[in-house]
């Protein structure tokens, strides 16, 4: 069991990947809040590829490749948190206000998780990384949890129009 001392309230953070289903993100957020009722919930990095592509019939292929960003934002709000971007969270890591972090990922191979980013997590008391791929962050984790891809699990997602799918 992961524990933090009583004086460590508010020192745990969870990075919720926009690739998690609503159900997975809810269970992770609830678990983190059991460990630390003030745990900070952070929206994971938002991958963007190119620009939006709009078609004459109104159909759009969005450049943002985050299938459940809206769901994660709603979930963080449900737990009474503010939606903190991954970039802003890295500033908190620099300020050393967080002692333990659970990072859920599941991204395709991208540059969000490079050596520079991983170094920001150095010095934590605890780092749990749940991912599909090895990475610099994975290599420095206290605990490494293999993740599953969207094709290996079921769950709901909230699309860009706030529709639960």
pLDDT tens sequence across 8-21: 556 999 999 988 99
Instruction: Compute how many other C-beta atoms are within 10 angstroms of the C-beta atom of residue 67.
Output: 18
pTM: 0.85
pLDDT number for residue 46: 80
More reliable by pLDDT, 49 or 141: 141
Greater confidence (148 vs 70) lies with 70
Residue range 131-156, pLDDT digits in tens? 988 889 999 999 999 987 767 878 88
d(CA 120, CA 75): 26
Q: Residue 128 has what pLDDT?
A: 96
Phi/psi at 87 (5° precision): -65, -45
CA pair distance 20, 24, nearest whole angstrom:
6
Q: What is the pLDDT of residue 45?
A: 86
The arithmetic mean of pLDDT across residues 20-33, rounded, is: 94
pLDDT for the residue numbered 32: 94
Q: What is the pLDDT of residue 103?
A: 94
84-127 pLDDT tens trace:
888 888 888 888 889 999 999 877 766 678 898 899 999 999 99
Instruction: From residue 74, give the alpha-carbon distance in Å to each of 56, 66, 108, 117.
Output: 31, 14, 24, 26
d(Cα 162, Cα 164) in Å, to the nearest integer? 6
pLDDT above 90: residue 4: no
Helix (H) / strand (E) element for 89: namely helix 86-94
Going by C-beta distance under 8 Å and a sequence separation of 6 or more, which residues neighbour residue 107? Answer: 17, 19, 44, 45, 47, 113, 131, 132, 133
φ, ψ for residue 21, nearest 5 deg: -75, 165
């Amino acid at each position: 069991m992961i524990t933090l001392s009583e004086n460590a309230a508010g020192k745990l953070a969870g990075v919720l990947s926009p690739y998690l289903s609503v159900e997975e993100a809810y269970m992770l957020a609830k678990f983190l809040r059991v460990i630390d009722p003030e745990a900070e919930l952070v929206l994971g990095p938002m991958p963007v590829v190119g620009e939006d592509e709009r078609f004459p019939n109104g159909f759009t292929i969005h450049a943002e490749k985050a299938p459940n960003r809206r769901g994660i934002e709603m979930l963080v709000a449900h737990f009474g948190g503010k939606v903190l971007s991954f970039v802003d969270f890295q500033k908190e890591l620099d300020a050393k206000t967080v002692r333990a972090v659970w990072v859920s990922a599941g991204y395709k191979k991208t540059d969000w998780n490079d050596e520079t980013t991983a170094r920001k997590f150095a010095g934590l008391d605890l780092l749990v990384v749940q991912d599909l791929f090895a990475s610099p962050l994975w290599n420095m984790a206290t605990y490494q949890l293999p993740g599953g891809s969207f094709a290996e699990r079921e769950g709901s997602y909230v699309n860009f129009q706030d529709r639960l799918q």
